Amino acid sequence: MDIQKVGIIGAGQMGNGIAHVMALAGYDVLLNDVNKDALDAAVALIDKNLERQVSRDKISAEDKAAAVARITSTQDLPHLGTSDLIIEAATENEPVKHKIFEALIPHVQPHTILTSNTSSISITRLASGTDRPEKFMGFHFMNPVPVMQLVELIRGIATDEPTFSACKAVVDRLGKTSASAEDFPAFIVNRILMPMINEAVYTLYEGVGNVKSIDSSMKLGANHPMGPLELADFIGLDTCLAIMNVLHDGLADTKYRPCPLLTKYVEAGWLGRKTQRGFYDYRGDTPVPTR
């Protein structure tokens, strides 16, 4: 099918990044969020990030103007019903996602493809709550969306081939690379990445090393661009914990048990960069380890 209009649910870190790359690739974008302030902030951030690309000669000023013109924001979820493709990028909470799709279904066109940007939740379960499980799949972008080249495409048990092909064509048009993943907890990237981050937290919890030594060891000893604790703060410790819980519950293996220290940080509200404190304290000029 010919996808021209893309609806995006959620104007947070992932949603605004998806809107950015979709508009730049020539799609008409309808960005939805229940919070008007979040929508206004997302549109302003997209403008700022596009301007940065102009200043670095990645795109032209004309490209930026055209992309901004393609983005419309709305607090009204039914407005997304005219979209050919809808990407849900709300919080990583399964009941919330089910409620969103339940509210959306009466308003979408028969041909509309529904997708979720979930990083770990079962696509088959999400699809089963809709009227079109064959036209439903996982469309998982990496963060930050404008920079990262990979998109995981996850088939649910009922996803048909035309739906997969249409989504793959979108990824190709974005100039990104798709990886096909089966619908098992956390898919590919987070199935491998999150246990590594969780193990880094255990290493901290058990006193094997402090925050600085753990991150320095992985950056200098394994050539990682960011240390695992620094990366956890960037992702959000609440998101890391949610994905570890999905892995632990879905695979019933003790190797996926979330570290108690990770749970403690989330209970404290120290979620990383977005709350100014996590494994590092970001309230000063330079991040300072908290342990």
Active site residue 190: yes
* Helix, strand, or coil (residue 252): coil
Tokens representing 41 are 């902030």
Q: Which of 32, 73, 83, 119 is catalytic?
A: 119
User: Annotated binding residue at 33?
Assistant: yes
Contact between 42 and 16 under an 8 Å Cβ cutoff? The reply is: yes
User: Annotated binding residue at 11?
Assistant: yes
User: Annotated binding residue at 227?
Assistant: no
User: Annotated binding residue at 274?
Assistant: yes
User: Annotated binding residue at 51?
Assistant: no
User: Annotated binding residue at 53?
Assistant: no
Q: Which of 140, 178, 198, 230 is catalytic?
A: 140
- Which contiguous run of DSSP H or E holds residue 82? none
User: Annotated binding residue at 14?
Assistant: yes
Q: Counting every residue, how long is the chain? A: 291
Active site residue 206: no
* Helix, strand, or coil (residue 102): helix
Rounded CA-CA distance 176/168 in Å is 10
Active site residue 180: no
User: Annotated binding residue at 255?
Assistant: no
Q: Which residues pair with 272 in a beta bridge?
A: 277
User: Annotated binding residue at 28?
Assistant: no
Q: Which of 32, 49, 83, 152 is catalytic?
A: 152
Cβ count near 237 (within 10 Å): 28
Q: Which of 49, 116, 122, 190 is catalytic?
A: 190
Which residue type sits at 124? T
Q: Which of 108, 159, 109 is nearest to 133 (CA)?
A: 159
User: Annotated binding residue at 12?
Assistant: yes
Active site residue 128: no
256's CB contacts (< 8 A; 6+ apart) are 195, 198, 244, 247, 248
Q: Kindly report the CA angle at 81 between 75 and 84, in degrees rounded to 5?
A: 120
Rounded CA-CA distance 75/33 in Å is 5
Tokens representing 165 are 């092909």
Catalytically annotated residues:
119, 140, 152, 190
- Residues comprising the binding site for NAD(+)? 10-15, 33, 92, 97, 119, 143, 274
- Residue ranges for the binding site? 10-15, 33, 92, 97, 119, 143, 274
